[in-house]
Structures are given as structure tokens and as C-alpha cells.
Amino acid sequence: MNPIIKNKILGIGLLIFFLISSQSALADNNSIFSNFRSGLLNIIRMIDYWVGGFLNYKQIQEENNVLIFQNRALKSLLIEYRDLKDENELLREALQLKKTKDINFILANIIGRSPLNFSQTFVIDKGEEDGIKVGQAVIWGGKTLVGEVIEVSKNFSTVKALTDTEFKVAVFVGDNKIEGLFKGNGFLDSYVDLIPLKEQVQEKDQVYTSGLDKKFIRGLYIGEVKSVEKLQDKIFLDIKVEPALDWTKIYQVLVIK
């Protein structure tokens, strides 16, 4: 309890007690005054107890607010640490790819995403001044394809994700490098088209860019085969693909120059 407030309460109580005692003495120890004095002392004790409890509650509340602030500060530092860790891992894998393929990259942050019911695109914080051009491949983790730059302004660019219905790229499927055309399909499964029924494609076969369409470099990983079917009256296999990356869950990308 706050010592100053407590002393004030005790002082008031003693003053009242003194006045009542004086009146009691003048009344020759009248029992009425004696009972009144006893009741008053009990009231003073109750007030002292209540005020003390209230002040203790206020102190606990203030300490709790301090702990909440410190907890939020620690969470903020943890988020910053995770962001730096992700960025370092991204750059490390990119540098490894650069050594093997001699490719230059531009690191960019995702600063906006389109509503998924309209299109599957996102905006990055790099543009013409940074060397971004329409048609450049956008990747993550040094080798995983995310999408393609479709619009560039001075300081910002728009990227079409590989799951967008208008996205397509030439690919190889499996170890035998079966040629096909990967297509995004919005909310539905992405797929590989133009692979004849005679070809042996299996679930879990990897799908990656072939470079045969001169669009992107060869070897950018897209995902793996989810299912393979031979549909009636179709001349091509129905191949569903599970993309390796959920582009809505990342916040940084690399643009291949």
C-alpha cells in the first residue's frame, strides 16, 4: 500500500478516535459512546483494508501492463529475427544457384496481393529503376518458380503467380524429361497439358521448366505430379500438379535478371 495514503488514513482514524475518546471521558465512560467508539474503530480498519487492497490491485495492474509491453516487444524482435533469417536463407540459396548457372538476381519484397477471386497476382517493391522487366522469372529459395513479371512501373512491379489461369510455361516431367506445357488453373488444380497417352508419367514425378519456349531458364522447380489419368476421348494425359510453393505464404522473392 502507498505509505503516504496509508498514513493519511491512519491520521484521520486517530483524530476521530481522539475526539470520541474525549467525548467519552466527558460522559463519564457512558456505554453508548464506548460502543460507538468500538464500531468506529472497526469501520476505520475496514476502510484501511479496502484501500490497501485497492492500491495493491492498482500496483499489480501496472506491473501486468509492463509485462504485456515487454512481451509485445519480444514478439516484435522475434518476427524481425525470423524475417532476417528467411532473407539470409533465400540469398544463400540464390548465391548457390548463381555459382552453378551464372545468374543475377534482384531481391524484392512482396508489398501487396490481389484478391484471389479476381486474379492471382502480387506487387513487389522493385521496378524499372532496379532493372525489372516484363517477362522476367520470379523465384523463391534459389530454384522454385513463383511467377512472371507482367507489369513494371518506376518503383513497383506486378507479378503473375504460376497458379493464375493465364500462366503457362514449357516443362519437363520426370527423369525422362517428358515435354509438356504447365498451366495454372486458379482455385482448381494446376496441370500439365500436351503429353501423349503413350508416355509413362507417374505420381510424384517432378515438374520443372524446360527452357524450350525461351521464356525461362531450364531447371526452375514447379512441383510434382499429383495424379495421372487417361480420360475417354482425350488424346493427352490428364496430369494434375501440386505446386511446390504456396505463393500467398511468402514475403520475399528473387527476380532473375
Regarding predicted confidence, which is higher, 68 or 13? 68
pTM comes to 0.65
Pairing of strands 157-161, 238-243: unpaired
Which tens digit of pLDDT belongs to each residue from 119-134? 899 999 999 999 999 9
Q: What is the pLDDT of residue 119?
A: 85
Instruction: Tell whether the model's pLDDT for residue 21 goes beyond 60.
Output: no
Which tens digit of pLDDT belongs to each residue from 77-101? 554 545 556 556 666 666 666 655 6
Which tens digit of pLDDT belongs to each residue from 214-236? 999 999 999 999 999 999 889 99
Q: What is the pLDDT of residue 171?
A: 98
Average pLDDT over the chain reads 79
Q: What is the pLDDT of residue 189?
A: 94
Q: How confident is the model at residue 115 (pLDDT cuts 50, 70, 90)?
A: confident
Regarding predicted confidence, which is higher, 47 or 10? 47
Least confident of 7-16, 96-105, 157-166, 205-214: 7-16
Which tens digit of pLDDT belongs to each residue from 27-47? 444 555 555 556 666 666 666
Beta bridge partners of 168: 183
